[in-house]
Structure 1
C-alpha cells in the first residue's frame, strides 16, 4: 500500500498515519526514509533549498516518528529505524544541508533511544554509503551497493538485532 505524503508537513504526516492505522493497524516497525539533496556551495545555496533539505531529511524523520510513537509506546513494542547516511559522519563539499540533516538524524535517533530505554521499543539508524539511486547521480561518487543491500540491513535491525542495539548507528558501505 502506497500513501503519498509530504513528510515535511505535520498535517500530511498525521493524515498518512491515520490511514495506516485505519487500514493496517499499529505498525511494529517504522522506517523514516524520505530524503532529498540540493547540491550547491554554501555561499550560493538559497534559504529555500536549505530549508527543504532540512525539512524533508530531518524534520520528516521527527514528524513520522512522532506520528506513530504514542501507539507503539502503548503497546510497549516496536522499532524506529531511521535512514541516515555516511554523510552523517563526514562533510562533503556542496552538500552542507544534506550533511547537517543526516548528522541531525543520528543525534535524533540517539536521543530517542535514551527516551525509549525500558519501554520495550528501540531506535536505530542505518548510515549507507553510495547507493545506486537517482539521488547519487551528480554526487561524484560511484555506487558501491544497491538499495536491496540497505533494505537487508534495515530488515536485520527490524527483525533480528538484539534489543541491546538500541541507539546504534550501523554503517553500510557495500562490498
Structure 2
C-alpha cells in the first residue's frame, strides 16, 4: 500500500487490467492465448513440501485452493505455500501484474497456478471466480479470504465512502466468496475456509476504526458460518495476526515494527487447510511473533 494522506483507501489496487469497473472477471492469458494457469493440464509435483506451524510436512496433492488478495503480502505468501504443498491454486486480486508475478513464481517452482482478476466486492465477479476456478482446476476444497484494505484517519475525518469501501472489501468480500464457493463444498461434504482477520479487531488501534470494525465483523461471520456448515464437514476458522511485515502495516501504522513475516501466517493457514482436526471450527487463532 502507498499512503496518500489521511482518509484515503491506501492499498486499493490500481486497475491496471484495462477492463475498468463492472467489466467482470478476467482470466489472465499469456501471449499465446493459453490460460495462465501453470500446468493445469500437466501436473508437476513440487520438489519438496513446506512445513506447517508445528513443523510437520504438509501435503495437499489433489486439492484445489482459492486465495483472494493473493497478489501481495500475506495473500501472496499463502498462495505460494499452498502451491508448494501440492495444491492447485487460483490466485485472485484486482491488480493483473501482481497476479502474474505470483503465478510465475508458482510455475517456476513446479506448481499449478491460475491468475484471476476479480473484485471481491462485486457479486457477479465472485460468482465468475468460482466458475472459472472449477473449470480450470477442479472443485475447490480450500478458500482463503485475505483480500483487505485499510484507511488510516481519525473517526471524525473518515468519510462515509472510505468506511463503506473498507467494509465492502474486508467483510462483504468474504461473505460473497463464502456464498459462491460453499454450495460446491456442501455437495461434496468437504471444505476448509480460512478468513484472515486481525488482532486489531479485538484490541483496537487508534485511527483505524473502520479497519478494526471490519476485522471484528469478520470474526462474527467466521463463528456464525462455522455453526451453519458444521454438519456438512466444512471447517471455518479465522487467523488474527499481530504485526506482519507488509505494505498494509506501514499504511495503517507508519513506522511500526513487525514481529512476523507473511510466511509465518502462511504456515498457520497450511495447518488449517490440511491436518487440522475436524472438530476445530469456529476458532480464531491469534498469531504473534
Question: How many angstroms does 1:88 deviate by?
Answer: 2.2
User: Secondary structure at the residue paired with 2:231?
Assistant: coil
Displacement over 6 Å in runs of 4+? none
2:155 equivalent among 27, 42, 57: 42
TM-score, reference length from structure 2: 0.59
The structure that has the greater radius of gyration is 2
1:150 equivalent among 265, 278, 281: 265
Partner of 1:109: 222
Q: Distance in 2 between matches of 1:58 and 1:142?
A: 26
2:185 equivalent among 57, 67, 72: 72
Partner of 1:125: 238
Question: How many angstroms does 1:66 deviate by?
Answer: 0.7
Partner of 2:287: 172
Question: How many angstroms does 1:91 deviate by?
Answer: 1.2
TM-score, reference length from structure 1: 0.97
Unaligned ranges ≥5, structure 2: 1-113
Q: Distance in 2 between matches of 1:30 and 1:58?
A: 15
Partner of 2:93: none
Q: Distance in 1 between matches of 2:259 and 2:122?
A: 33
Q: Distance in 1 between matches of 2:234 and 2:171?
A: 21
Partner of 1:60: 173
Partner of 1:26: 139
Q: CA RMSD in A?
A: 0.9
Q: Give per-residue Cα distances to partners, 1:112-171, cap 9 Å, x unaligned.
A: 011012211110001111110100014043111000000000000110111111111001
2:122 equivalent among 9, 15, 27: 9
Q: Give per-residue Cα distances to partners, 1:83-109, cap 9 Å, x unaligned.
A: 101112111111011001100000000
Unaligned ranges ≥5, structure 1: none
1:99 equivalent among 212, 236, 239: 212
Q: Distance in 2 between matches of 1:85 and 1:4?
A: 25
1:163 aligns with 2:163: no
User: Secondary structure at the residue paired with 2:117?
Assistant: coil
